[in-house]
Amino acid sequence: MRLAMVSFILAAYALPLSAAAWKIDTVHSSASFRVRHMVVATVSGKMSGITGTVVIDDKDITKSSVRAELDAATIWSDNKKRDDHLRNEDFLHVKKFPKIYFKSTSVKKSGKGELDVSGNLTIRGVTRPVVLKVKGPTQAIKGPRGHMHKGVRADVTINRQDFKVQFMKKLPTGGLIVGNDVEITLDLELLSK
C-alpha cells in the first residue's frame, strides 16, 4: 500500500503542469460483462478490485494515459457454481493469472465528451490491443472529505478466444454454450487531492 502511494506521488510530480494524476477509487469502481449463453440469452456479471492511475491532460487530451489492473478472482455472476467455473482453467484461470491489466497507448477525441482510448489488455497472460470507447471524464466535483472526484465510463467488446479463454462446448443444434463476444463496461470513479 505504501509503495503504491509513493509511486502515485512520484508520478504526479513528473507530470506537465496541465496534467493531473487521478487515482481509481477501488470502492466506487467496477467492471461489468455480458456474454451470450446457449445462443438464446445473455448472462451478466461484474468484477471489483480495480486499481490504477488515470492521467488527464486538460490542455492536450492526447497526452493523457491510463494504467489499471483488476482482481480476476472477484468475478461474480450471482451463481456460485458458475463463478467457480469462471475462475478455473476453462475461463480466467485465476490461480495462475490473478490479475487483468490495461495500459493505454494513445488517447484521442472521438466526439463531444467522448474519447477513443487505445491500449493493451492482458487476460490470462495474453496481451492484445483494444480500443475503449470512453464517455467522460465528467467535470470534477469536491467530495465531503476534500477530494476532487471525476467519473468515466468505458465500453469494449472482446473475443474471449483472443485471450485463450477457449471453453468451446457446443449445443447439439449448433452454436456455442458460451458466446465468443464479451461486452465489457468499466465504470470508474477517479480521486485527486
Task: Please name which of 14, 2, 103, 100 lies closest in space to residue 53, comparing C-alpha atoms.
Answer: 103
Tell me the per-residue pLDDT of 23-78, one tens digit each, with 9 for 90 and over. Answer: 999 999 999 999 988 777 889 999 999 999 999 998 999 999 999 999 999 999 99
pLDDT band at 13 (very low <50, low <70, confident <90, very high): very low
Tell me the per-residue pLDDT of 70-106, one tens digit each, with 9 for 90 and over. Answer: 999 999 999 999 999 999 999 999 999 999 999 999 9
Task: Rounding to the nearest 10 degrees, give the CA dihedral for residues 91, 92, 93, 96.
Answer: 150
The yes-or-no verdict on residue 3 having pLDDT over 60 is: no
Report the predicted TM-score, pTM, of the whole model to 2 decimal places. 0.85
Which residue type occupies 54?
Answer: V
182/39 Cα distance (integer angstroms): 13
Task: Please name which of 78, 76, 87 lies closest in space to residue 47, comparing C-alpha atoms.
Answer: 76
Structural contact between residues 85 and 91, judged by C-beta atoms closer than 8 angstroms: yes
Domain spans, the chain: 2-192
Angle at 50 between CA 22 and CA 15, to 5 degrees: 25
Tell me the per-residue pLDDT of 172-184, one tens digit each, with 9 for 90 and over. Answer: 777 767 878 899 9
DSSP characters over 83-100: HHHHHSTTTT-TTT--EE
Q: Which fold does the domain 2-192 belong to in CATH?
A: Lipocalin (2.40.128)
The yes-or-no verdict on residue 147 having pLDDT over 90 is: no
